[in-house]
Amino acid sequence: MIAVIVPTIRPEKMEGFRKAWQPLFKKHNVRLIVVWDGEDPHVEDTWIGTNLKNNAEEILGKDADLIYNFHSGVRNLGFAYVAKFLPEVEVLISLDDDTVPIGDPIADHLQTLEKHFPISWFSTASEYTRGFPYGVRVEAECVFSHGIWFGVPDFDAPTQLVQGVHEIDFYKGAIPKGVYAPICGMNIAFKRKILPYVYFAPNSHNVGRFDDIFMGINLKKICDEKGWAIATGFAQVQHDRASNVFKNLQRESLGIELNETYWQGDESHPYFKVYKEKHKRWKEFIGE
């Protein structure tokens, strides 16, 4: 079974989202899990009924403080709901409420997760050319599919201020071993077995808009250790909303600074003590 988790705080956006995605949800027998953000975030499981509400305390109990509201990482509540109540779900897909499908992103995610990729070698062409070892061509199981988006790019505030909004190109393939990449939570899919490692970072110490980025850094380290592949570029959506650049500038400033060295192992800022402790508890809740 496939579960799609969508965080939102905007009923008007969700109405358009449901209309755009419903044909694909029906085609793939998707179970839509809506995480309604706000003062008391709660889950709507659309297969059970639109009036069902499960908040953080009901789902996580003593670990309810792992969920942060007014924050895109509130989607963690949907992941926790799947982990606790839906053992039949094998693949989780998370989408933002302002995306619409290009083609069939769900099929594209599923096909990507069925593949094996080379991670020790990097292909310089669209096909394997002379000299690419045969033994690594199906080296690593793909456990995480990072989808891409067209329309409004996911820039940080300084880049958006300087360059404005414009189309960008994307890489398609596996992220090589030992290499990091910015993972955006707008359009992702992953296998259930990596749920312990998919914890969007806390909204703490005035570090904003890096919940998915820091999650991606940690996930890549785990995948490298276990010999798993993260692939990017195969599933596409349209993204048509730019967030407020000046608000983002305030929210991102500290995160941008910390991100410069966090991927290299610098955890000296107090924020990372909170993140590390909560991620440890998340893994215990999921059942690593």
- Give the pLDDT of residue 244: 78
139-143, 198-202, 243-247, 275-279: segment of lowest average pLDDT: 243-247
How much is the average pLDDT of 186-210?
95
Q: How much of the chain exceeds pLDDT 90, in percent?
A: 83
Dihedral pair phi/psi, residue 212, rounded to 5°: -75, -35
Q: Which of 30-44, 159-173, 180-194, 204-218 has the weakest average pLDDT?
A: 159-173
pLDDT tens by residue, 124-134:
998 999 999 99
The pLDDT of residue 52 is above 60: no
Among the listed ranges 66-70, 98-102, 161-165, 184-188, which one has the minimum average pLDDT value?
161-165
285 or 152, greater pLDDT: 285
**pLDDT of residue 215 exceeding 60:** yes
Note down the domain range covering 42: 2-286
pLDDT band at 246 (very low <50, low <70, confident <90, very high): confident
Residues forming a β-bridge with 30:
2
Q: How many domains does the chain have?
A: 1
* pLDDT band, residue 10 (cuts 50/70/90): very high
The contacts of residue 159 (CB under 8 Å, 6+ apart) are none
200 near 73, Cβ under 8 Å?
yes
Q: What is the mean pLDDT of residues 108-117?
A: 98
Q: Evaluate whether 197 touches 218 at the Cβ level (below 8 Å).
A: yes
pLDDT confidence tier of residue 156, bands split at 50, 70 and 90: confident
Q: What average pLDDT does the structure give for the chain?
A: 93
pLDDT at 242 over 70: no
Burial class (CB in 10 A: 0-12, 13-18, 19+), 281: middle
**Which of 176, 170, 187 lies closest to 223, judged by CA?**
176
Where residue 25 sits, what CATH number does that domain have? Answer: 3.90.550
Q: Would the pLDDT of 51 be above 60?
A: no
In percent, how much of the chain has pLDDT > 70? 98
